[in-house]
Amino acid sequence: MPSSAPLVLRGQRFDAGRPAVMAIVNRTPDSFFSGNRLADLDAAKRAVETDLEAGADIIDVGGVRAGQQGEPVGPAEEIKRVVPFLEWARAAHPEVILSLDTWRSEVAREAGAVGLDLVNDTWAAADPDLVHVAAALGAGYVVSHTGGLPPRTDPVDVSYGDDPLDVVRDVITTLGTGAGVAELSGIPRERILVDPTLDFGKTTANSLEVLRHTAEVVALGYPVLQAVSRKDFVGEALDLPAEERLEGSLAATAVAAWLGAIAFRAHDVRATRRVLDMVATIRGDRAPRLALRGVRRPPAEKPG
């Protein structure tokens, strides 16, 4: 059964028996999912507390909506949205793994002083200096696949070739190359996550094909991140808006986990945590919390 290489961040190890949940904290007023619009500082702080209590391992903080429908956000505004919040999170939870979702090296450099553990480059090295900043900070790095699109652009007339598997081949090649660059930049393999980045630069059919082939991404030999939560490929598969995509997201999460991915970026932390723990247990990578059913137990001692 496929198993991703282990991920090690801030002295914590994640593997098939202990998958990682990356909680999404969008410091934006226009996130595609209304339940994660956390521009208000107090609401964002409450979300972190709730996510940690629900079983989050990583807090991923972003300041810009991924798609082109959101408002324009320059580097100064992005820094204003994320850096003070990361400073609060580090002070409030010194042990927590902090991730920054950005494609801009200047934002990561500014945030580095808080002790970043991971730089989540969701736009596939659009800023080629970002990986070097992550290495200089001693942070991990997420290698992504966007089909060559620049930041904040939605896919139009996407084609990877006539064979449905061409998109899988492109993902594997791009992620392998990007991970190699990250290693050459000085980032250890156990801190390099590869993310097929479903929806980005892909049709719904592309994303579903790549999801089915998660095991081939795992075979690259790096920890694998899947970010499926409430995405459009889930919505189009079921014809549902973002607010009604929880069950579809959890089904996709279960499939990816069964095929070997070990880190999952999620809006719904508690449900995702339980799904991952259950899949790990079914796979045999994690022992049940209890094993009492059908087991003979000694009779209770009689008093006195």
CB 280 within 8 A of CB 19: yes
Dihedral (CA of 102, 107, 108, 112) sign: negative
Number of continuous H segments (helices) and E segments (strands) in the chain: 10, 10
Nearest-angstrom CA–CA distance, 112 and 141:
13
194: phi then psi, degrees, rounded to nearest 5: -110, 130
Active site residues: 231, 265
* Helix axis angle, 269-283 to 41-54, nearest 10°: 20
CB 155 within 8 A of CB 176: no
Angstrom CA distances, 152 to 70, 116, 255, 287, stand at: 9, 23, 28, 42
What one-letter code names the amino acid at 48? V
Nearest-angstrom CA–CA distance, 304 and 302:
7
Q: Which one, of 17, 7, 57, lies nearest residue 288 by Cα?
A: 17
Q: What share of the chain is helix, strand, coil (3-state, %, to 5)?
A: 40, 15, 45
